[in-house]
Amino acid sequence: MKTKMAFCFLTVGIALVMLASCAPTTKVNAVWKDENYPGPIRKIAVIGASEKEAVRNLFEDEFVRELEIHGTDALASHTVLSLAQLADKEKAAAKIKSLGADTVLIARLVDRKTVQTSVPSQPYVIPYYYSSWSNYYGQIIAPEYVFHDDYAYVETNLYDLRTENLIWTARSETWMVETDQTLIKAFIKVMIDRLSADKIIN
C-alpha cells in the first residue's frame, strides 16, 4: 500500500514539474502607450534596476541583444554607468544622451508575493484501488502536498530623454519557477513582443 501511495505522490510531482516547464513564466497584466509620441526611436538606453550586478548586467545585455535583432540600436547602461552613478539622474541622463540615446527603458521590481497551493492525495482509478476498504482507507489519511510559488511584479517604463515624458509602460507578473537567466530571457521576450505589437519598435 505504501508503495502505491508513494507512486501516486511521485506522479503528482512529475505532473506539476511538467506543467511548470510548459507554462509561460511572464504575462503582461497592463500596458499603456502615448499615442501622440511622434517617434521614431533612434537608440534606447536600457537600465535594469537591480542591486545585484550580475542580474543587472545579464538583463541589460539580453535586452540590448533582442532590441538590436529587431533593428533598434540600444545601449546597456552598465557599460557606462555604475549603480552609484545611476543615483544621479541628471548626470546619468547626460551620459547616455552623449552616447546617442534618445530614450531610456527602465525595468524595476515593484512587488513580490508567495502563493501557497495544497494538492490532495491523488485518487486511484476505479474500480481496482477502490475495490477494498484497506486500499481506499489509505487515501483518507494520505497527507496533502503543499507547494509555494513565488511571483515577481515588474514595471517596465520607456521615457523620451528630451521631454522626460513617458512613452510606454507595462506591468507584468513573472512566476519565479526557473533560474534567473531563464526567467530574464523569457521576460525580455515577452516585453520585446509587446513593444513590437504596440509599434514602439519594429
Q: CA 61, CA 79: separation in Å to the nearest integer?
A: 9
Q: CA 196, CA 175: separation in Å to the nearest integer?
A: 23
Q: Please give the backbone phi and psi of residue 94, each rounded to the nearest 5 degrees, phi first.
A: -60, -40
Tell me what pLDDT residue 7 has. Answer: 37
- Beta carbons within 10 angstroms of residue 145's beta carbon: 15
Q: Please give the backbone phi and psi of residue 138, each rounded to the nearest 5 degrees, phi first.
A: -60, -25
**Dihedral sign of CA atoms 193, 26, 51, 107 in order:** positive
63 within 8 A of 46, measured Cβ to Cβ: yes
- 49, with CB counted inside 10 A (0-12, 13-18, 19+), is middle
Chain center to CA of 35: 26
pLDDT in tens, 26-64: 999 999 999 999 999 999 999 999 999 999 999 999 999
Chain center to CA of 141: 38
Tell me what pLDDT residue 131 has. Answer: 57
136 within 8 A of 130, measured Cβ to Cβ: yes
pLDDT of 11 > 70? The answer is no
Q: Class of 19-114+149-197 per CATH?
A: alpha beta
pLDDT of 93 > 80? The answer is yes
Does residue 14 or residue 88 have the better pLDDT?
88
Q: Name the least confident of 85-89, 115-119, 171-175.
A: 115-119
pLDDT in tens, 59-80: 999 999 999 999 999 999 999 9
pLDDT in tens, 152-182: 999 999 999 999 999 999 999 999 999 999 9
Q: Where are the domains of the chain?
A: 19-114+149-197
Q: Which residue shows C-alpha cell 525580455?
A: 188
pTM score, whole prediction: 0.77
Mean of per-residue pLDDT scores for the chain: 84
pLDDT of 5 > 80? The answer is no
Percent of the chain with pLDDT over 70: 75
**Could you tell me the three cell numbers for 100?**
546617442
The pLDDT confidence band at residue 14, using thresholds 50, 70 and 90, is very low
pLDDT of 144 > 90? The answer is no
E strands along the chain, which residues? 26-33, 43-49, 73-76, 103-119, 145-160, 166-175
